Amino acid sequence: MYRFVLGIRSAVFRGMFYGSLPEKGDNAIDISDIQRDAFGNMLSFLYTDTMDNLTADNVFFTMFCADKYDLPLLVKICSDFVVNQLTPTNCLETLKQVQSFSQSAVGSFAVSIVERCLTLIDANTSAILQSDQFTEISQDVLQSILQRDTLSAEENDVYLAVERWSAAACAGGALDTSAANRRQMLGAALFHVRFPLLTNTQLADGPGKSGLLTDAELLSVFMYQSATVKPEISFPTERRTEQRQVVIAATIFQAGDEVFVHTASDTGEFWEPARICEVHPQHVTFTLFRSWIMPGTATADKIIRAKDILKRAIWFTSTV
């Protein structure tokens, strides 16, 4: 019976059981590359069409399992779970987990997860650069962050975080923290730090003393800062522009002390735990707990009461 159910729900299982090369015999099929909890989640989904057992520990394994057995709806459920659980404090770890799977394992859904993570990093750059998790990211993730034009931090803070990351990378590789080793660990990521944006004092006290830049690179940056006709240099020179989220609309749901805001904006749609600050006849003020969005004020288009749930439709006209 189980073969029939699995074969109906998954083209991969259908090929295994009923295709031109079906599995032989009645013995158990050996599946060695799937985590037990993840496989159990997939079986539960196949039999019930529901998924109630996802956790931060098993969601990526479940996504891998769903992709392997051609279950795009379950892959989407896993992806939505990850996106809805993202916060500034866990986005780096999530990026690391996404990277640990091959592109085929998470498919196109990886793009939305990565972009949501990077958006959170854009808006919370200073805190994330100073976090312990920052020194644990891979060189590829570091480079993808440094390439961003929309980081909301001073470039000197970016540079200091890069120094910290390179020292930790050397320690993790059992290397001394010489300038040569730190440059080797950084690789191409070094050339996404916008050294020309540092002040002369920051340059002298930072890379000038640490040795992270060669004498020729340091001189080229000083020349770029001082010369009337700017020479070509190896580092980006444009200032990063912090992007603020433009909230188009949101709905506040409140039941007792539990408050959630569903926002629709130029960066997507998300559920966010919130705290209602003040309720007025024509507007509501609120603070979102897990978002990069600053405290906001919203004008109420209408107020609808339904049993014990108070639902307010809120429309925004300005950048939050």
Most trustworthy range by pLDDT among 88-97, 152-161, 290-299: 152-161
Q: Is residue 20 part of a domain?
A: no
Q: How far is CA 306 from CA 202, 224, 254, 272, in A?
A: 58, 64, 11, 21
Looking at the structure, do residues 183 and 267 belong to the same domain, yes or no? Answer: no
Tokens encoding 315: 């429309």
Residue predicted with more confidence, 10 or 214: 214
- Give the phi and the psi of residue 167 in degrees, each rounded to 5: -65, -40
Looking at the structure, do residues 191 and 104 belong to the same domain, yes or no? Answer: no
Q: Is residue 176 part of a domain?
A: yes
Looking at the structure, do residues 138 and 213 belong to the same domain, yes or no? Answer: yes
Q: Where a domain ends, among 91, 119, 147?
A: 119
The pLDDT of residue 197 is 94
Q: Is residue 271 part of a domain?
A: yes
Q: Is residue 6 part of a domain?
A: no
**Tally of domains in the chain:** 3
Looking at the structure, do residues 221 and 141 belong to the same domain, yes or no? Answer: yes
In the predicted structure, residue 246 carries a pLDDT above the cut 60: no
In the predicted structure, residue 126 carries a pLDDT above the cut 80: yes
Looking at the structure, do residues 35 and 110 belong to the same domain, yes or no? Answer: yes
Task: State the average pLDDT for the chain.
Answer: 75
In the predicted structure, residue 112 carries a pLDDT above the cut 50: yes
pLDDT band at 297 (very low <50, low <70, confident <90, very high): very low
Looking at the structure, do residues 73 and 141 belong to the same domain, yes or no? Answer: no
Looking at the structure, do residues 138 and 96 belong to the same domain, yes or no? Answer: no
Q: Is residue 35 part of a domain?
A: yes
Q: How far apart are CA 140 and CA 194, in angstroms?
A: 18
Looking at the structure, do residues 105 and 132 belong to the same domain, yes or no? Answer: no
Q: How far is CA 157 from CA 123, 146, 198, 202, 223, in A?
A: 14, 12, 10, 10, 22
Q: Is residue 22 part of a domain?
A: no
Q: How far apart are CA 87 and CA 12, in angstroms?
A: 35
Looking at the structure, do residues 220 and 298 belong to the same domain, yes or no? Answer: no
- Give the phi and the psi of residue 131 in degrees, each rounded to 5: -75, 155
Q: Where a domain ends, among 65, 92, 119?
A: 119
The answer to whether residues 105 and 72 touch, using CB atoms and an 8 Å cutoff, is no
The pLDDT of residue 245 is 47
- With pLDDT > 70 as the criterion, what percentage of the chain qualifies? 62
Looking at the structure, do residues 221 and 129 belong to the same domain, yes or no? Answer: yes
Residue predicted with more confidence, 180 or 280: 180
Cβ contacts of 43 within 8 Å, gap of 6 or more:
none
The pLDDT of residue 123 is 83
Looking at the structure, do residues 99 and 144 belong to the same domain, yes or no? Answer: no
Cβ contacts of 96 within 8 Å, gap of 6 or more:
136, 137, 138, 141
Looking at the structure, do residues 202 and 270 belong to the same domain, yes or no? Answer: no
- Give the phi and the psi of residue 191 in degrees, each rounded to 5: -85, 15
The answer to whether residues 163 and 179 touch, using CB atoms and an 8 Å cutoff, is no
Q: Is residue 189 part of a domain?
A: yes
CATH number at residue 84: 3.30.710.10
Instruction: With both helix axes pointing from N to C terminus, report the angle between 179-186 and 139-146 in degrees, rounded to the nearest 10.
Output: 80
Q: Where a domain ends, among 92, 119, 146?
A: 119
- Domain with 85, as residue range(s), is 31-119
Rounded to 5°, the CA angle 102-135-271 comes to 65
The pLDDT of residue 47 is 77
Q: Is residue 15 part of a domain?
A: no
Instruction: With both helix axes pointing from N to C terminus, report the angle between 109-123 and 91-100 in degrees, rounded to the nearest 10.
Output: 150
pLDDT band at 271 (very low <50, low <70, confident <90, very high): very low
